[in-house]
Structures are given as C-alpha cells and as structure tokens.
C-alpha cells in the first residue's frame, strides 16, 4: 500500500507528518512512501532529503490524495481536503471529532477510515503514539523559551563583578505534560520555580524536578481532582477562592507565569485574574498555554502578544509546536509511524484495521462508512 503526506494547508503551519527517517521505517513495514513537493520545507526537510530516503515526490495535493491508500497529516483536514478522501482510504491526523461535525459527516459519506490522533487512549501501551503528549511537551518547553525571549533578565542568579543578579521566579500553573516540560526547562535554566496543580499527586513529580509545589490549605477538594482518571475536574467555589487567594499572594513576586490549566472538553478555567496581572512587576511575562481554550488569564489574546499598561507581556500563541517544526515533526512522524506499526501486524505493507484492539478502536472515529465516535472506554489501563 502507498502511504502519503500532503503539505499542510493551515496558515502558518510548519510541521509535516513524515520525515526522511520515519519514511525509512515505514518502508521497512512494507509501505511505499510519497510526499507532496515542498511539504517538509518549513520543518527543515527538503524534497532531496525525502528522495534520498526513497520517498516519491508528488507535485500536487490532488495527485497525492488520489495515489495513496493511507494519508497522514498534522492539522485537521479542511473541506477541500475532505472532498479528496476516497472510499476505503485511511486518514491519520488530528481531527477534533467532538468539534468537527462537517468533517465527521464527510468521512462517513465518503466511506473513509479516520484515525484521530487526539483520540489515542492515554494508556501505557499507547504512549509511543500519544501525539497530544509529544506536542504538549514541546509547547511546555517552548513556552519557557518564549518567556525568556521576552524577559529582560537572566533566569539564573549570578554574582558578577558588575553586580549581583537575583534568580528569576517562575510559577507554572497546571502540571500536566506541558506544565512538567515547562517546569523542567525553567529549573534547568536556573530559575526558582514554583508549580501548582489541582491534582496533588503530581507534587512529588514537581519536587523531583527541583521545583516547589504550592500547597493550599484545602485538602478535601484537592483529593477530588484525582477522581477523574488522572484528569482535573471543575473546582468548587471554595477551592477556587483558596487557589486565587494563593495566586494573589504570589503575583507581585513572580517574574514569569506559565499557565497550562485545562479541564477536558471545557473552556479553560480563569485562574490569573486582572488584579493579579496588575500586581505583577513591569517586565514580567505571562505565557498562557490555555489560549486555544479561552485562556487561563482573562487578558490573553489568542495568537497574539500584548503588553499591559503596567508593562506585563502576555503571550497567547497557540502554535508553539509549529514554532519548533523540526523537533515537532520528528516526534509527530514517530507517533504516526508507531500507529502504522500497530496497524501492520505482518509488516507486509497491508493495513489490518483491528477494531478489537483498544488503541486502534479508541482512535478510530470513522470506519467503513460509519461514525465510530465516541469509542467505548478502553478495556486495559
Ligand atoms: P491537560 O493538558 O488536560 O491539563 C493540564 C493540567 O492542568 C492538568 O495537570 C490538570 O490537572 C491541570 N488543571 C486543571 N484545572 C486546574 C486548575 N484549576 N488549577 C491548576 N491546575 C489545573 O493535561 P495533560 O497534560 O494532558 O495530562 C492530564 C493527565 O493525563 C495527567 O494525569 C497525565 O499524567 C495523564 N497522562 C497519561 C498518559 C499515559 O499515557 N499514561 C499520557 C499523557 C497524560
């Protein structure tokens, strides 16, 4: 079968779902690989690199979609791309099945099989295909780098002949995958790093990375956060008040605040309020990784950088993985390649779409002309 990757069409998207290295691995699984001309250019992979890895270069998106049995992408396909889907073709991509009614209908109508990368179950066996985590890891890292780039001082403290420099103080709100990556980056740059999460079970991880966990005097509800399969649930008003009071106390001291707090299938909770922004020192930086879902900070403007009247920079970019396109493409293409490995048990270049397999079933949102979303809960943890 032929596995192909078109150039991403979403404006500004620099990632690509195939690298020369992943192409070599896919060929070992028995697939012929193809890529649209220039698809890897923004991620640092030239047509020549692909050709040298044995990949066929196809000139137009229409020809690529037509020629391939399997098409892999990064971003949710647009309407034009959905029209290119063929009966029996397999599409592997982020797909946003819960918020993409038109795409789901089109997948059903066209009789294609769609694997949505954000639906890969978060169980140990599927970690190698967990593109949400690989992209969140990059976002967390890049958030700190972006903050540093907009911050006028060092992260680490220094005693120099020209004077003593205090270390920067960084607060990370939300210690999921992105938050933990931000914490690791911040501590490795030498900042004094604090972190808070509604799930107290992450405190140990936070502390093992050299950061300080911010505890609230509110044990009962903190336990509740852990009651939903590792994800956060909505906090009670009392808990939220205790959390905001703690943040108010910390705001004047913090130089950099990275917010990553999300609750599945909801708008992001507002945690960094206007008065906290107003209490921060001029030159401080907020990076709001929840900007896509409305932001943890009210003043965040999605996809923009603003500076408040009191000189606080607020960054609401939602394309951090694309800003590190080489790294992001390498990890994403590896996630896709692992998915292909599971779909190719005989390593003979033939897909076996095993709907009894928890991971494949969980990620499949359309199959043989039927919508198969939402999936049943996974059997294995
Ligand atoms: P996420 O991006 O959905 O949320 C980010 C973090 O924000 C979470 O840690 C959440 O607890 C926190 N949060 C929510 N509301 C908050 C609030 N009001 N204040 C402070 N923090 C708040 O999370 P994620 O990075 O996708 O990870 C979520 C869970 O999934 C974690 O338990 C993680 O360990 C688990 N996970 C498991 C696997 C696996 O393969 N086993 C892979 C990835 C993630």
pLDDT digits (tens, 9 = 90+) for 101-150: 999 999 999 999 999 999 999 999 999 999 999 999 999 999 999 999 99
What is the value of ipTM here, to two decimals? 0.93
User: Quick check: 229 pLDDT over 90?
Assistant: no
58 to each of 39, 47, 63, 350, 372, how far by Cα in Å? 10, 10, 7, 21, 32
pLDDT at 264: 82
What are 170's two structure tokens? 């960084």
175 CA closest ligand 1 atom index: 9
Q: Which of 51-82 are b and which e, b meaning 16 or more Cβ less than 10 Å from the residue's Cβ? A: eebebbebeebeebbeebbbbbbbbbbeeebb
Question: Measured between alpha carbons, how far is 355 from 85 in angstroms, rounded to an integer?
Answer: 21
pLDDT at 32: 98
At 220, the pLDDT band (50, 70, 90 cuts) reads low
At 380, the pLDDT band (50, 70, 90 cuts) reads low
Q: What is the chain's mean pLDDT, rounded? A: 95
Task: Reduce the DSSP state of residue 271 to 3 states and report it.
Answer: coil
Ligand 1 centroid – CA 155 distance (Å): 26
pTM of the model: 0.95
232 CA closest ligand 1 atom index: 11
Question: Measured between alpha carbons, how far is 373 from 351 in angstroms, rounded to an integer?
Answer: 20
User: Quick check: 86 pLDDT over 90?
Assistant: yes
177 CA closest ligand 1 atom index: 25
Ligand 1 centroid – CA 72 distance (Å): 27
Pocket of ligand 1 (CB under 6 A): 122-124, 127, 130, 133, 136, 173-179, 196-199, 230-232, 235, 260-264, 269, 271
Contacts of residue 63, Cβ cutoff 8 Å, sequence gap at least 6: none
User: Quick check: 40 pLDDT over 90?
Assistant: yes
Closest-CA residue, ligand 1 atom 20, reads 197
User: Quick check: 227 pLDDT over 60?
Assistant: no
323-363 confidence digits (pLDDT tens): 999 999 999 999 999 999 999 999 999 999 999 999 999 99
Closest-CA residue, ligand 1 atom 32, reads 230
* Range with lowest mean pLDDT among 263-277, 299-313, 326-340: 263-277
User: Quick check: 165 pLDDT over 90?
Assistant: yes
Ligand 1 centroid – CA 231 distance (Å): 5
What is the signed CA dihedral for 136, 139, 141, 143, rounded to 10 degrees?
A: -140
Pocket test for ligand 1, best of 232, 236, 321, 331 (most atoms within 8 A of CB): 232
Conformation bin of residue 187: beta by default, left when phi > 0, alpha when psi is -120 to 50: alpha
Ligand 1 centroid – CA 24 distance (Å): 34
What are 135's two structure tokens? 């992209």
User: Quick check: 303 pLDDT over 90?
Assistant: yes
User: Of residues 381 and 374, which shows the higher confidence score?
Assistant: 374
User: Quick check: 223 pLDDT over 60?
Assistant: no
User: Quick check: 219 pLDDT over 80?
Assistant: no
Q: How many CA atoms lie within 13 A of 331 on its CB side?
A: 19
pLDDT at 232: 75
pLDDT at 231: 73
243 CA closest ligand 1 atom index: 19
Closest-CA residue, ligand 1 atom 36, reads 122
Q: How many CA atoms lie within 13 A of 329 on its CB side?
A: 28
Residue 51: which H helix or E strand, with range?
helix 47-52
């Amino acid at each position: 079968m032929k596995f192909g990757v078109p150039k991403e069409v979403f404006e500004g998207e620099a990632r690509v779902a195939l690298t020369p290295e992943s192409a070599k691995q896919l060929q070992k699984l028995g697939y012929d690989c193809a890529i649209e001309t220039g698809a890897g250019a923004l991620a640092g992979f030239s047509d020549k690199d692909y050709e040298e890895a044995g990949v066929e270069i196809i000139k137009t998106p229409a020809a690529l979609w037509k020629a391939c049995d399997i098409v892999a992408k990064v971003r949710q396909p647009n309407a034009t791309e959905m029209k290119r889907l063929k009966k029996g073709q397999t599409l592997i991509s982020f797909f946003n099945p819960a918020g993409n009614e038109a795409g789901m209908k089109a997948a059903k109508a066209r009789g294609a099989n769609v694997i949505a990368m954000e639906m890969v179950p978060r169980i140990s066996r599927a970690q190698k295909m967990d593109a949400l985590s690989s992209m969140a890891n990059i976002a967390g890292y890049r958030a700190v780098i972006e903050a540093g780039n907009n911050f006028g001082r060092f992260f680490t403290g220094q005693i120099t002949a020209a004077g003593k420099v205090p270390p920067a103080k960084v607060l990370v709100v939300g210690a999921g995958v992105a938050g933990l990556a931000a914490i690791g980056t911040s501590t490795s740059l030498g900042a004094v790093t604090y972190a808070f999460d509604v799930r107290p079970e992450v405190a140990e991880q936070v502390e093992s990375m050299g950061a300080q966990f911010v505890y609230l005097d509110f044990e009962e509800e903190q336990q509740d956060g852990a009651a939903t399969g590792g994800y956060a649930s909505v906090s009670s008003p009392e808990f939220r008040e205790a959390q905001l009071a703690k943040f108010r106390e910390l705001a004047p001291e913090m130089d950099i605040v990275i917010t990553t707090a999300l609750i599945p299938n909801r708008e992001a909770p507002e945690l960094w309020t206007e008065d906290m922004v107003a209490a921060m020192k001029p030159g401080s930086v907020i990076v709001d990784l929840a900007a896509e879902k409305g932001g943890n900070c009210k003043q965040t403007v999605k996809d923009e950088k603003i500076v408040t009247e009191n000189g606080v920079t607020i960054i609401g970019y939602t394309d951090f993985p694309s800003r590190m396109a080489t790294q992001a493409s390498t990890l994403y293409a590896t996630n896709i390649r692992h998915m292909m490995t599971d779909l190719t048990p005989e390593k003979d270049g033939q897909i076996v779409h095993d709907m009894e397999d928890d991971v494949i079933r969980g990620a499949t949102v359309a199959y043989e002309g039927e919508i198969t979303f939402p999936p049943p809960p996974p059997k294995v943890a």
